[in-house]
Structure 1
């Protein structure tokens, strides 16, 4: 089952990008054996000009286009549902076992998600009640996807 992260904004080269790449590589290696992955990451430029509604609408359309024909669209949203690592692993396991071929995780811009993305989403996920910088949110999401794959695979990375 393919996983993708589609995000508004670009990570600069440096420690954030390296850490995200590390977890993505770990996920791809471990996930191969349990039918989870590979992970692709698509970065889209931020919308410029106009009011907030126009910018978020433009970004939502581009996020959805980049997500393509994903079977499941998950919005990362501070007002989304907060779940545990075990619950994320269970959700991914159920999707995989239920025949889902791809899941796209969408990270909006600084102004959040536009109505189009909200309407298209199957789920809304909150990584934290804290507001996270976008780069850190990508790292946390990538690590949690790796952790979920490790739980599904029975790998000892996750401990209760």
Structure 2
């Protein structure tokens, strides 16, 4: 299953970009990072894909809960999960309505560059949990 991070805005060369790249490379599953212009529309969703918007009004999941969700999607044959990070103004009403899920990293407001790094780390952690890798220490 492809884990596809789609983010509005350019990250450029920065410590955050290096952190995102480092975590995405560590994931044993296929990953992809796509950057869009601030006003660009999302690419058309292919059949068998899930779209998860990072949104302040979304569900807050533990790392283990995210791992279980990825496992369920993988096991039912989902080909791609698209994690979409919005621009400074977030997502449009239409994007929220068409998403399969809204996911939040809590009530705090996070800079978009850090959200990319946080998402990449959580995807690495979730896939590590599924592989029984000792990276994740719960409790």
TM-score of the aligned structures, taking structure 2 as reference length: 0.94
Q: Which of residues 23, 36, 39 is equivalent to 1:44?
A: 36
Give ranges in structure 2 of 5+ residues lacking alignment.
none
Aligned length: 137
Supply the distance in 2 between the matched residues of 1:125 and 1:158 (Cα, whole angstroms).
Answer: 20
TM-score of the aligned structures, taking structure 1 as reference length: 0.82
Q: Which of residues 67, 70, 80 is equivalent to 1:92?
A: 70
Q: Which of residues 93, 99, 105 is equivalent to 1:121?
A: 99
Q: Which of structures 1 and 2 has the bigger CA Rg?
A: 1
Moved segments of 4+, more than 2 Å: none
Match of 2:4 in 1: 4
User: Post-superposition shift, 1:159?
Assistant: 0.4
Supply the distance in 2 between the matched residues of 1:38 and 1:10 (Cα, whole angstroms).
Answer: 22
Verify: 1:71 aligned to 2:49, yes or no: yes
Supply the distance in 1 between the matched residues of 2:114 and 2:106 (Cα, whole angstroms).
Answer: 11
Give ranges in structure 1 of 5+ residues lacking alignment.
32-36, 48-58
